[in-house]
Amino acid sequence: MDKLESFHQDVLRGLKDHPKWLQPKYFYDDNGAALFQRIMEMPAYYLTACELEIFRDKTVELAEVLHVQQEPFDLIELGAGDAMKSSFLLEHLLREQADFTYMPIDICGEVLLTLRDRLNRDLPNLEVVPLHGEYLDMLREATEQSDRRKIVLFLGSNIGNMELEDAHGFCRTVNRRLKRGDTMLTGFDLQKNPHTILEAYNDKEGITAAFNLNLLERINRELDADFNISAFQHYQTYDPIDGGCRSYLVSGTAQKVNIGGEVISFEANEPIAVEVSRKYTPLEIDQMAIETGFAPLAQIADSKNWFVDAIWQVN
């Protein structure tokens, strides 16, 4: 099945279900990627600043725990985006003359092209092999390309965009694709003051709303649909008990939407679940490592203790 056909099937499956849902991986067309860049620049979206601080100020500690000096390796980044944070590590590794290839994986082709051009310009000695596609498919491809030791980066709290059970399943699959001694570094957003969390996903300028609504615009553009975008509203919640910060698009009125010939009915105030951004406790993070076949090596936090990069090794 080609990418457009999978998109079509996934959209119809989610919108025919009850309650309705859409997969967040489809946020990232060119417009979505540009809107996400603007989210990362918002002061309220603290996640980027926290993880950037870790990569900027604790680069040596990260590199030590990742055991980068041992032997040649592939540094694989899942959902690399603009690789702004990982660039601190890349520069450090080049200075240390580490023998490695950087393999950024992203579902958005435009993002990867921009990244490759920037890295070729800013870090000309870096060997870059971009892989365009889904995290796990491209991880398989990366592991099939060479036998070298693997270090996997999964930043930005992207793991938070999976429900707990799915995150465990994901880590188990990553674990199976890797070999004993390989390492994985994952960014986790920690549970904190619920107001701080909610404000990060509910900005008054409406950038997060535009990012979420772009998903409906993308469906209109690519799947020949007729969503009336102004008839939907972004709605955000955070549950400090289960750590789930959830985004919904709510239909303002009863309406029918045609998607490539199929009609989907919405009731007034009916929500579409579009994204979860789960917040973790340090204990949950170590438990996830142990239950999915890894040994937790370290949790490296920012100065506010709002975010950690957890480093795990394959048992």
- Shortest spacing between CB 270 and ligand SAM, in angstroms: 26
The reply to whether 102 sits near ligand SAM by the rule CB under 6 A is no
- Shortest spacing between CB 33 and ligand SAM, in angstroms: 6
Binding segment (CB under 6 A) for ligand SAM, from list 105-113, 140-148, 217-225, 239-247: 105-113
- Shortest spacing between CB 105 and ligand SAM, in angstroms: 6
Q: Are strands 149-154 and 183-189 parallel, antiparallel or unpaired?
A: parallel
Residues between 62 and 91 that touch ligand SAM (CB under 6 A): 79-81, 84-85
Q: Are strands 100-106 and 127-128 parallel, antiparallel or unpaired?
A: parallel
Letters for 136-175 (x = contact with ligand SAM by CB under 6 A, - = none) are -------------------xx-x-----------------
Residues between 285 and 304 that touch ligand SAM (CB under 6 A): none
| Residue among 199 and 275 whose Cβ is closer to ligand SAM | 275
- Sorted by sequence, the CB contacts under 8 Å of residue 152 that are 6+ apart come out as 76, 77, 78, 139, 174, 178, 182, 183, 184, 185
Integer-rounded Cα Rg, in Å, for the chain is 20
Residue 16 CB neighbour total at 10 angstroms = 11
Q: Are 314 and 181 in contact (CB under 8 A)?
A: yes
Residue 73 CB neighbour total at 10 angstroms = 22
- Shortest spacing between CB 252 and ligand SAM, in angstroms: 28
Binding segment (CB under 6 A) for ligand SAM, from list 8-16, 99-107, 264-272, 287-295: 99-107
User: Residues 135, 188, 201, 232: which binds ligand SAM (CB under 6 A)?
Assistant: 135
**What are the two backbone dihedrals, phi and then psi, of residue 15, each rounded to the nearest 5 degrees?**
-85, -15
The reply to whether 36 sits near ligand SAM by the rule CB under 6 A is yes
Instruction: Tell me which residue of 218, 45, 196 sits closest to 37, measured CA to CA.
Output: 45
- Shortest spacing between CB 230 and ligand SAM, in angstroms: 26
Q: How far apart are the first and last CA of the chain?
A: 36
User: Residues 35, 76, 105, 249: which binds ligand SAM (CB under 6 A)?
Assistant: 105
The reply to whether 25 sits near ligand SAM by the rule CB under 6 A is yes
- Sorted by sequence, the CB contacts under 8 Å of residue 147 that are 6+ apart come out as none
Handedness of CA 46, 307, 69, 178 (dihedral sign): negative
User: Residues 15, 50, 108, 301: which binds ligand SAM (CB under 6 A)?
Assistant: 108
Taking the CA of residue 181 as centre, how many other CA atoms within 13 Å lie in the half-sphere pointing to its CB? 8
Binding segment (CB under 6 A) for ligand SAM, from list 106-114, 219-227, 249-257, 273-281: 106-114
The reply to whether 107 sits near ligand SAM by the rule CB under 6 A is yes
The reply to whether 248 sits near ligand SAM by the rule CB under 6 A is no
Question: How far is residue 256 CA from its own chain's centroid?
Answer: 32
Instruction: Tell me which residue of 52, 123, 49, 118 sits closest to 85, measured CA to CA.
Output: 52
| Residue among 25 and 177 whose Cβ is closer to ligand SAM | 25
Residues that bind ligand SAM in the complex, under the rule CB under 6 A: 25, 28, 33, 36, 79-81, 84-85, 105-108, 111, 134-135, 155-156, 158
